[in-house]
Copies of this chain bind each other. A is one copy, B any other.
Amino acid sequence: MAGVEKVSQGRPDPGTGPDGKDVHPTLPAIPLYAVLMAGGSGTRFWPASRERTPKQLIKLSGQRSLIQETFDRVRPLADPEHILVVTSRAHATAVARHLPELPRDNLLIEPVGRNTAACAGLAAPTIHARHPKAAIALFPADHKIVDWAGWQTLIEGAWRLIASTDAVITFGLTPTRPETGYGYIRVGAPIDHSALPGLCAADAFVEKPDLERARQFLESGRHLWNSGVFVLRVRTLMVLISEHLPELSAGLHKIAWASPGPSRQRVMRRVYPGLPSVSIDKGIMEKAALLVAPANVGWSDVGSWSALGDVLSPDEQGNVVVGPAMCVNSAGCIVYSSGPLVTMLEVSDLIVVQTSDAILVCPKSRAQDVRLVVDQLRAQGKTRLL
Identify the A interface with B (CB < 8 A): 47, 326, 328-329, 337, 339-347, 350, 352, 354-363, 366, 369-370, 372-373, 376-377, 380, 382, 385
Contact = CB atoms under 8 A, between A and B. Distances in A.
A373 B47 contact: no
Can you list the 10 inter-chain pairs with the closest CB atoms, starting with the nearest?
Answer: A345-B362, A346-B366, A341-B358, A342-B359, A343-B373, A340-B357, A343-B360, A344-B361, A328-B372, A340-B358
B362 A326 contact: no
A152 B90 CA distance: 60
Contacts of A346: 362-363, 366, 369
Contacts of A341: 357-359, 382, 385
Nearest to A353: B343
Contact of A362 (B339, B347, B354, B370): B347
Contacts of A326: 373, 376-377, 380
30 contacts: A47-B343, A326-B376, A328-B373, A329-B372, A337-B359, A339-B357, A340-B355, A340-B356, A340-B357, A340-B358, A341-B357, A341-B358, A341-B359, A341-B385, A342-B358, A343-B359, A343-B361, A343-B373, A344-B362, A345-B360, A345-B361, A345-B362, A345-B366, A346-B363, A346-B366, A347-B363, A350-B350, A350-B361, A352-B359, A361-B361
Given A347-B350, A350-B347, A342 B328 contact: no
Contacts of A376: 326, 328
Contacts of A373: 326, 328, 343, 345
Nearest to A333: B361
A354 B359 contact: yes
A350 B330 CA distance: 14
A29 B75 CA distance: 88
A229 to B, nearest CB: 33
A385 B342 CA distance: 12
Residue of A326, A345, A358, A362 with highest tally of chain B CB at under 10 A: A345
A372 B344 CA distance: 11
Contacts of A339: 357
A372 B357 contact: no
Nearest to A366: B346
A345 to B, nearest CB: 4
A358 to B, nearest CB: 5
Contact of A347 (B329, B337, B343, B361): B361
Residue of A329, A339, A341 with highest tally of chain B CB at under 10 A: A341
